[in-house]
Amino acid sequence: MATMHEESTEVDGITVDRDVPIAMSDGAVLRADVFRPTEAGHYPVILAMGPYGKGLHLADGYPANWRRMNEAFPEVSEGSTGRYQNWEVADPEKWVPDGYVCVRVDSRGSGRSPGFMDILTAVQTRDFYESIEWAGVQDWSNGKVGLLGISYFATNQWQVAALRPPHLAAICAWEGFADHYRDGGRHGGIACEFVRGAQARQMVTVQYGMGSRGPVDRNTGLPVGGDVDLDDDTLRENRRDLYAEVQARQLDSEFYRERSADLSRIQVPLLSAGNWGGMGLHLRGNVEGYLGAGSELKWLEMHGDTHFSPFYNDRGLALQKQFFGTFLKDEQNGWLERPPVELLVRHPGEKFEPRFEHEWPIARTEWTELHLCPETMELRTSPGASGTLSYDPLREDLRFSLPPADHDREFTGPSALKLRISSATVDADLFVSLRLLDPDGTEVTFIGSNDPKVPVALGWLRASHRRLDAQKSEPYRPVHSHDRIEPLVPGEPVDVDVEIWPTSIVVPVGYVLQLGIGGRDYSNEGTDFENAMYTMTGVGPFTHNDPVDRPAEIFGGTVTVHFGAEASSYLLLPAIPAS
């Protein structure tokens, strides 16, 4: 039944149905905007559901990102007025003319959908399922629904695909995490502060009930956060404090499992698109999502650049349309002949070399143990001297360098660091980085998904979480169980394995790859630009500075790395031989 704000308009061959009600089985009603061809017919559906406000224009909510994307890729605005652009979802003006219907749903408690805001829960996943099934039986639908979107709009795809909605035909999870604990909530057991800022910046501002105090939809003039004004106390009562939950839950638990996907249950064709510079949230999830999905037809693509440009630029759009054309339109467009893995192999200077592979990790990988040599601070293929090196974890780190070679060297894949350490206290947080230095010794950084200057790779581990899941771990990809806390005995050495998230880098002649080991976030000189949502020093919003989670009296104690015949400390790198 229509509400006073449910309406339809037609502009340039696109019919827009706004605030369409979708009734949930428990009586809740979600609101959706539907963009469809004006000409009657049965069309495949591209659907997304999330908490960022379907009526918030990308340029209004994220002006710096909008400007940077259009400056770097003017093609994003070619063939589109941009009037319907929305954060991290498809531009209808690029899809509807090709015979698709685009549906955007405000998730429960967000935008113009009433309810309790509690993201990525079983309730919300069921809402997503029912929204897919609603879209699959509408008069304008051909019965095939595909899911497309970045970040949040990718993460919940893993979850709902595991429920196997009958009308779900394919998913494209673009830079979206899969494991709520390991990929974003707690890196190696260390609380990541991202969700606290993201909830305040991007969700609370468009929560249902913000009404006239929130942003306005530039196309309708209506409040993005619903037509009612709720007071601050009521708004707080209508949402879960996500970061408080992360603070309270040091170990993996049902809270994190509910917000993670059972990847093995996914059966639909899928394309997982990850970003080498996505350290801190999505990179690991795109690889693990691809590996863990039960789908017979699945593809992995890995790129670079920002969090949004590769999704909207011509290359990304063509990739998405070829994929969905195959599974939503039954097109014979060559996608099924495509190898399962495409890697944009990264070189310094934001240069990428596309290359297809048949598996991940790459079968021809030469797993290379580079030993940490304390006498020279080098990485060598043979062990160095015995001894120890100590550091103040909150003020300094240790640096070990791989000497330059007379030929280019490629490292593409997951990495791991094995160490024997001791601490002056009962615990230690290990922050690991891989950096690239040019022949002058200056660090070379890369455009990352959420920071314009990121290193080659990052890894984290809380020493008291060192226990491995033996069934899931590989030498190149340690997986920690995070099911118990095992305090250190001050001064007593223990062996730890640190997972370093996947990467790709070609180290040119004369360049140096450097390993950093410390007890604080990687940091560079930082980057300033207008309308920045957070401070950028190389890790974007993925910081770990919470004194509740990391009290200085525990995590500020001196850490010692041990070397010797019985204490082998080495970096395991995925060397790719020259073809």
Tell me, yes or no, whether 195 lies in a domain: yes
pLDDT, average across residues 422-449:
97
Please say if the pLDDT value at position 508 is more than 70: yes
Average pLDDT, the chain: 96
Percentage of residues of the chain with pLDDT beyond 90: 93
Same domain, 372 and 321: no
Return all residues near 4 (Cβ < 8 A) that are at least 6 apart: none
DSSP bridge partners of 573: 368
Residues 419 and 316 in one domain: no
How many independent structural domains does the chain possess?
Answer: 2
Which residues 6+ apart lie within 8 Å of 73 measured at CB? 309, 312, 313, 314
Do 321 and 467 fall into the same domain?
no
Residue 358 lies in a domain: no
pLDDT at 373: 96
Contacts of 19 (CB under 8 A, 6+ apart): 3, 5, 6, 7, 31, 32, 33, 112
Contact 162, 270 (CB under 8 A): no
The single residue listed with the structure tokens 């919003």 is 541
Average pLDDT over residues 278-294: 97
| 2: confidence class by pLDDT, cuts 50, 70, 90 | very low
Question: Quick one: pLDDT band at residue 5, thresholds 50, 70, 90?
Answer: low
pLDDT score of 579: 77
Residue 89 near residue 104, CB atoms below 8 Å: yes
pLDDT surpassing 70 at residue 11: yes
Does residue 270 belong to any structural domain of this protein? no
Same domain, 112 and 252: yes
Nearest to 426 by CA among 517, 519, 546, 557: 557
pLDDT of residue 529: 73
Selection from 416, 377, 179, 388 nearest residue 287 by Cα: 179
Is 354 a member of any domain?
Answer: no
Sign of torsion over alpha carbons 533, 536, 541, 547: negative
Q: Which of 126, 159, 176, 168 is nearest to 262 (CA)?
A: 159
Residue 443 in 3-state DSSP? strand
Average pLDDT over residues 445-468: 97
Same domain, 241 and 370: no
In-domain check, residue 546: yes
pLDDT exceeds cutoff 50 at 8: yes
Model pLDDT, residue 3: 42
Residue 342 within a domain = no
- Flag whether 271 is in a domain: no
119 to 131, 204, 228, 262, 266: CA distances (angstroms):
16, 12, 21, 17, 20
Nearest of 270, 78, 282, 279 to residue 172 by alpha carbon: 270
**Secondary structure in 3-state letters for 495-517:** EEEEEEEEEEEEECCCCEEEEEE
Q: Measure the CA–CA gap between 539 and 535, rounded to whole angstroms.
A: 9
Residues 442 and 383 in one domain: yes
DSSP designation for 446: B
Whole-number percent of the chain with pLDDT over 70 = 99
Q: Is residue 55 part of a domain?
A: yes
In CATH, what number is assigned to the domain containing residue 237? 3.40.50.1820
Which residue range(s) make up the domain with 150? 7-260+278-286+306-333
Same structural domain for residues 252 and 392? no
Tell me: do 322 and 401 sit in the same domain: no
Q: State whether 314 and 400 are in the same domain.
A: no
Q: What is the number of other CB atoms lying within 10 angstroms of the CB of residue 262?
A: 14
Q: What is the mean pLDDT of residues 84-104?
A: 97
Task: Give residue-wise pLDDT tens across range 303-354.
Answer: 999 999 999 999 999 999 999 999 999 999 999 999 999 999 999 999 999 9
The confidence score (pLDDT) of residue 132 equals 98
pLDDT at residue number 4:
42
Are residues 45 and 141 in contact, defined by beta-carbon separation less than 8 angstroms? yes
H and E: helices and strands count for the chain: 13, 25
Tell me: pLDDT of 380 over 80.
yes
> pLDDT class for 1, splitting at 50, 70, 90?
very low
Nearest of 163, 155, 112 to residue 283 by alpha carbon: 155
pLDDT digits (tens, 9 = 90+) for 161-217: 999 999 999 999 999 999 999 999 999 999 999 999 999 999 999 999 999 999 999
Find the mean pLDDT for residues 291-306: 98
Same domain, 425 and 327: no
Q: Is 527 exposed, middle or buried (0-12, 13-18, 19+ CB in 10 A)?
A: middle
CB atoms within 10 A of CB 26: 11
CATH of the domain at 405: 2.60.120.260
Helices (H), 206-331: 232-237, 242-248, 254-258, 283-292, 309-312, 314-328
Are 324 and 454 members of one domain? no
52 and 105: one domain? yes
